[in-house]
Amino acid sequence: MGTQQQTKAFHNLIGREWMPSSSGETFTVINPADTRIELGVCQQSNEADVEAAVEAAKQSLPGWSAEAAPIRGQYIAKAASLIEERTDEFIKQLIIEVGKSYADAKAEVIRTVRVMRFLAGEAERLKGETIPSWDKEVIGYTKREPVGVVGLITPWNVPLAIAAWKIATALTCGCTVVFKPSSQTPLVSLQLVKAYQEVNLPAGVLNFVTGPGSTVGNAIATHPDIKAISFTGSNKIGLAINQLVARRGARFQAEMGGKNPFVVLNDADLTLAVEHVIAGGFGESGQRCTATSRVIVLPGIAEEFITLLKERVGRMKVGNPLDEGTDMGPVIDKGSMESILSYIEIGKKENGQLVTGGSRLTEGDYAHGYFIAPTVFRGITPEMTIAQEEIFGPVISVMEANDFEQALEWANQVEYGLSSTIYTNDMEKAMRFVNGIEAGFTHVNMPSTYSEPHFPFGGIKATGIGGMREVGSTAIDFYTEYKTVYMKPHNQP
């Protein structure tokens, strides 16, 4: 997998200048597949850096918000085309920085381009309403205006696409941005920011500040001039930020954890269901909020399904994600690896039956990376820890319900409500599932991870805060305010 590479330093973007942090401190980004490889040195920013970024965003806000909305959209569309032209560069960066397989990295780049193009188009659809008045001489209508300077805090697991859709929506709506990426994966986010620079986005409209959430994230959350914050990440951090933002009455949107169920009924195509469980549970090493975590099967097909699943997992190739034949790469870092392994041990102690996997891979090429064997448990019941808590790794729990009603009950028996899926040819049961599942979006005979950029994305229950969805036409609601206008001509003499 290679050896030590020369390490390059990267700076914050504030206004039109690339500059080091005022703290003088830095941190190093590591390749999770081979921790001997340092990918870059980034800035350990502090409150003063956030202050400077906010000031730059404030200065650019009047001009950017006054720009014709379709013109704003053109910057996004041009940046999307630039990313598409450099697909291979972005794929490689996702692979070496996040540990994604080639297929997963390519899918994220494609998703990024599509979502940016869709949101660029929303700049031509920032429409209000013309509403009849009780007074026949009054013309009444509504118009959308940007909420102001916004803070965007993005996660490490989907660092390109999520950053892309938050930034694109904010820019479309006329907001200016202070953007903090995850410290585990800031470099691919930096490539996104540079794409906007190359299409001549006005200085100060998009500002980029790296550093720890406890410092940079908190400074964004508490800054009085940041009018709205969009966050994607863990429940613990999201709830903490929500408290900080609520104290000053700013707007907050959060997409957080998931514990997504995958229900398989007796009439399902088991071969297809197994393939989609693999894709949903082990794609991106299970490090997705939409990942398949719980597979709920019925007695009639349980044994056959588990046998097929074990056999299919046995054919997976875990290894160097730069190899296009690799199905699953490493997890993101040592802390995540240790957390996942601890959940596996909890599953064993709670009498879960380990079907396959269950350990760290350490031999040969695995020796210097954070690799975990794809893991399957069976005999899991709803009260068990691994059936309730988000593991965020390559661990699937198979649960054996008595009937459809119990399967639906178990599917809902968690605090989260993001994604879900059911496999069946019985459309009556499929619709009962669609109507009864407690989730922000759901699927029939499709993987739990499937989504498209022109549909709303988000969850309910403990998954989401703010009640406003990302992506889709409704994404603009979070970044805009409505202004109501009443117009009446002067009476003529």
Residue of 193, 188, 202, 250 whose CA lies nearest to 59: 202
**198-226 pLDDT, tens digit each:** 999 999 999 999 999 999 999 999 999 99
Q: What's residue 221's pLDDT?
A: 97
Alpha-carbon gap, residue 410 to 118, rounded angstroms: 36
In angstroms, the first-to-last Cα distance of the chain is: 86
Alpha-carbon gap, residue 158 to 33, rounded angstroms: 17
Alpha-carbon gap, residue 371 to 333, rounded angstroms: 10
Q: Does residue 229 sit in helix, strand or coil?
A: strand
Residue of 285, 292, 302 whose CA lies nearest to 360: 285
Backbone phi, psi, residue 123, to 5°: -60, -25
Q: Parallel, antiparallel, or unpaired for β 139-146 and 130-131?
A: antiparallel
Q: What's residue 95's pLDDT?
A: 97
Alpha-carbon gap, residue 206 to 202, rounded angstroms: 8
Contact (Cβ atoms closer than 8 angstroms) between residue 119 and residue 475: yes
Alpha-carbon gap, residue 396 to 417, rounded angstroms: 17
Alpha-carbon gap, residue 142 to 131, rounded angstroms: 8
The residues facing 416 across adjacent strands are 461
Residue 269 CB partners (closer than 8 Å, separation 6+)? 423, 425, 445
Residue 64 to residues 79, 134, 221, 232, Cα–Cα distance (Å): 17, 36, 23, 25
DSSP symbol at 385: H
Alpha-carbon gap, residue 262 to 170, rounded angstroms: 34
As averages over each run of 10 residues, the pLDDT of the chain (493 residues) reads: 66 97 96 96 97 98 98 98 98 97 97 98 95 95 97 97 98 98 97 98 98 96 98 95 95 96 97 97 96 97 98 96 95 97 98 97 94 98 97 98 98 97 97 98 96 94 90 95 94 57
Q: pTM of the full predicted structure? A: 0.95
Angle between helix 69-85 and 161-172 (nearest 10): 160
Residue in this structure with the two tokens 């450099």, named with its chain if needed:
86
| 81 CB burial (10 A radius; 0-12, 13-18, 19+) | middle
Contact (Cβ atoms closer than 8 angstroms) between residue 404 and residue 298: yes
Contact (Cβ atoms closer than 8 angstroms) between residue 152 and residue 167: yes
Contact (Cβ atoms closer than 8 angstroms) between residue 280 and residue 391: no
Cβ-based neighbour number of residue 274 at 10 Å: 24
Q: What's residue 182's pLDDT?
A: 97
Strands (E), 286-430: 292-297, 353-356, 360-361, 371-372, 375-378, 395-400, 416-417, 421-423
Residue in this structure with the two tokens 């490090």, named with its chain if needed:
287
Residue of 265, 313, 258 whose CA lies nearest to 289: 258
Residue in this structure with the two tokens 């954890």, named with its chain if needed:
257
Q: What's residue 492's pLDDT?
A: 53
Contact (Cβ atoms closer than 8 angstroms) between residue 61 and residue 186: no
Residue 320 CB partners (closer than 8 Å, separation 6+)? 1, 33, 326, 329, 365
DSSP letters for 72-124: HHHHHHHHHHHHHHTHHHHHHHHHHHH---HHHHHHHHHHHHHHHHHHHHHTT
Q: What's residue 1's pLDDT?
A: 43
Residues with catalytic roles: 255, 289
Longest pairwise C-alpha distance within the chain: 93
